[in-house]
Each structure stands twice: as C-alpha cells, then as structure tokens.
C-alpha cells in the first residue's frame, strides 16, 4: 500500500520538503548562533584573565625594581615617573618610556584593588593640589583604578573645589569625570558655570543651587574660561541656556564671555543673537578689543548667515578698527 505522501500531488510534496528543509536550516542557524555566543563569552573571559595575569606580572616587575612590595612600591614608582612626564629636560625617548611605565603603574594598581586605597589617600593627604599637581593627577588616576566608585566621588569633589584645591587640578578632574560619568560631569560643570566666575563664587546663587562653597584656593581667578571649554566638551543638554546666562552677567571677565560667544556661534544658537549684538556694541569693561569684536561678528554670521548682513553692514560703517573692518568685509564678501 502506498503512503499518503506518495499519493499526494507533486506540488504538495515539494512544499512539505521545503518546509522540512527550512526547519532544519533554522535549527542549524540557531545552533550556530548559540555556539558563536558561547565562543564570544569564552573569549571575553579569556581576555579578562589575560588582563589580570598581565597586571599581576607587571606589578611583580615593578615591585622587584622598587625593592619593596605592594602599594608602597607602586607609589614610589609613581613619584619617580610623574615629574619626567612634564619636565622640559626629559628627552623624547625618555618621555615615551616614562609614559609607558606610568600606564604600567596604573595597571598594577588595578591588580591590587581596594587594598591600595588607604595608601593612596595617605599620600594625597601629604600633598597639595597646586604645588604637587604632577603627582596628584596620577594619584587620582590610580584611585579610580583601585576603587572606581570611591575614585569617581573623589574626582567629583576635586572638580567642585572641595578636595585638593587647585584650578589646574579642577580642569584635569573635569576631563577625567567626563570620561568616567558624563552626566555627573555635566551637572558639576553646569553648577560651576552658574555659580562661579573669575571673582570667586556668588554666595546667593550657590545657596539657591544648593552648592557647597569651594575652597578659596580652588577659585580660577585667571583661566576661568577653561571651564567654558570643558563644559562645552561635556555636551550638557543645557549648554545654550547656561552660556546665555553667563554672557549676561557683568562679573565675568572678557575672555570667559568671548569663549561663550564663540561656543554659541558654533552651536548656531539663535536665542543668542540679540545678546551678542549688545556685546558687540557694549564690550566688557567698555574696551573695544578687536579680537572680541571679531568673535562677535563671526558668531552672528555663523548663527544667521545672510540674515546677519544688515547688522554687519552697520558695524562696518561705525567701526574705527581696521582689523574689525577688514574681517567684516571678508564675511560680507561670502568667501
């Protein structure tokens, strides 16, 4: 007796065979996918183990060359190489070698883990953020390696001027925190921009913001504009409104306002047009700095394009500065 399949019309037989083949193919693909995932997990595990072995071998090498063991050996090495990475006397080959060794030191600190936290904190307690910047910045890097959570909190406090007060160290901490926790860095830098200036901190604004008062040694009496660059680098969603707030405040120094104007221009912030026009007509400290005026017309041109023509033409008629006049002519020419 013939089977039901044998008695079925040929198209139905072919359809059933195709369905069976598709099922087998789907099973084979799922099996391949499962094996690929397993291999990927194994590769990740192997990579982690290799990194751990590398860190341990590196630590033992550093300990042997230091003649001691544990965090003390690594701290000794860090103190040795930190000055070499900033000294003008360090030759290029020596600099590259010192840079490689510093990365090895940080890797070795990571292999020790939280047991190195107390020695790092003890060493930081012996240093000052301003006078010992070169060593302190690497100790901050080491702190993050041995205890990521506590290290990040330490970097955050340094940025806000609560620990190891130093403007230069705060700028370094800002770059670190942007990499470690961008959202936390955005909030901290926004707070700085809204409450501080080159004159220090505005106590009323700090109170309204709920901000702790930074150590006086942390105030950037010169170079406050560096905070603007770092804040823009953080890509905070509130950059435009914060920079507009800054350029509207009289306590900020001209270079800080100039940095804000330039940033707003590059961001094509239409809301900044009137404020920048006012700044062009009434520059900070009533000083017609040609560079500042050029930055203003550049920003207006970037934001408005051809829409800035009438203002630029009026500015060209009224300026007494040849440098500014020539730059406006260049913008109006459309080159």
pLDDT in tens, 185-208: 999 999 999 999 999 999 999 998
Residue 305 has a pLDDT of 95
> Which two structure tokens, joined as six digits, stand for 258?
């100039």
The predicted pLDDT at position 102 comes to 93
pLDDT of residue 53: 46
Mean pLDDT by runs of 10 across the 335 residues of the chain is 53 67 69 64 52 53 66 93 90 91 92 93 96 97 97 98 97 98 98 96 90 92 97 98 96 97 98 98 89 98 96 96 96 83
d(CA 211, CA 220): 17
Closest C-alpha among 288, 292, 332 to residue 311? 332
pLDDT, residue 2, reads 53
Cβ burial, residue 215 (10 Å; 0-12/13-18/19+):
middle
What is the pLDDT, as a whole number, of residue 22? 72
Q: What is the model's pLDDT at position 50? A: 46
What confidence score (pLDDT) does residue 287 get? 82
Query: What pLDDT does 5 receive?
Result: 47
Residue-wise pLDDT for 255-293, tens only, equals 999 999 999 999 999 999 999 999 999 999 888 899 999
Report pLDDT for 68.
66
Residues 6 or more apart whose CB falls under 8 angstroms from that of 117 comprise: 143, 146, 147, 150
Cα 197–Cα 203–Cα 206 angle in degrees, nearest 5: 80
φ/ψ bin of 70: left (φ > 0), alpha (ψ from -120 to 50), beta (otherwise)? left
- Write out the H or E segment, with its range, that includes residue 75: helix 70-81
């Amino acid at each position: 007796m013939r089977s039901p399949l044998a008695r079925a019309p040929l198209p139905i037989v072919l359809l059933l065979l195709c369905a069976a083949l598709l099922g087998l193919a789907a099973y084979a693909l799922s099996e391949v996918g499962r094996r690929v995932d397993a291999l990927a997990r194994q590769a990740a595990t192997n990579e982690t183990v290799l990194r751990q072995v590398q860190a341990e071998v590196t630590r033992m090498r550093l300990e042997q060359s230091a003649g001691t063991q544990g965090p003390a050996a690594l701290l000794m090495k860090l103190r040795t190489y930190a000055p070499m990475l900033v000294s003008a006397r360090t030759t290029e080959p020596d600099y590259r070698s010192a840079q490689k060794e510093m990365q090895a030191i940080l890797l070795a600190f990571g292999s020790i883990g939280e047991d190195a936290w107390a020695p790092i904190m003890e060493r930081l307690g012996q240093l000052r953020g301003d006078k010992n910047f070169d060593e302190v910045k690497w100790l901050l890097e080491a702190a993050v390696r041995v205890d990521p959570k506590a290290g990040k909190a330490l970097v955050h406090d340094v940025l806000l001027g609560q620990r190891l007060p130093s403007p230069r160290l705060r700028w370094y901490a800002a770059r670190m925190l942007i990499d470690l926790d961008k959202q936390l860095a955005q909030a901290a830098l926004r707070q700085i921009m809204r409450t501080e200036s080159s004159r220090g901190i505005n106590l009323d604004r700090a109170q309204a913001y709920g901000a702790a008062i930074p150590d006086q040694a942390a105030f950037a009496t010169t170079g406050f504009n560096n905070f603007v660059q770092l804040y823009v680098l953080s890509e905070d969603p509130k950059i435009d409104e914060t920079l507009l707030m800054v350029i509207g405040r009289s306590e900020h120094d001209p270079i800080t306002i100039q940095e804000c104007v330039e940033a707003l221009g590059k961001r094509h912030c239409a809301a900044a047009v009137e404020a920048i026009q006012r700044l062009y007509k009434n520059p900070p400290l009533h000083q017609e700095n040609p560079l500042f005026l050029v930055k203003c017309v550049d920003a207006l041109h970037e934001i408005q394009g051809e829409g800035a023509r009438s203002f630029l033409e009026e500015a060209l008629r009224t300026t007494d500065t040849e440098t500014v006049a020539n730059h406006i002519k260049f913008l109006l020419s459309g080159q």
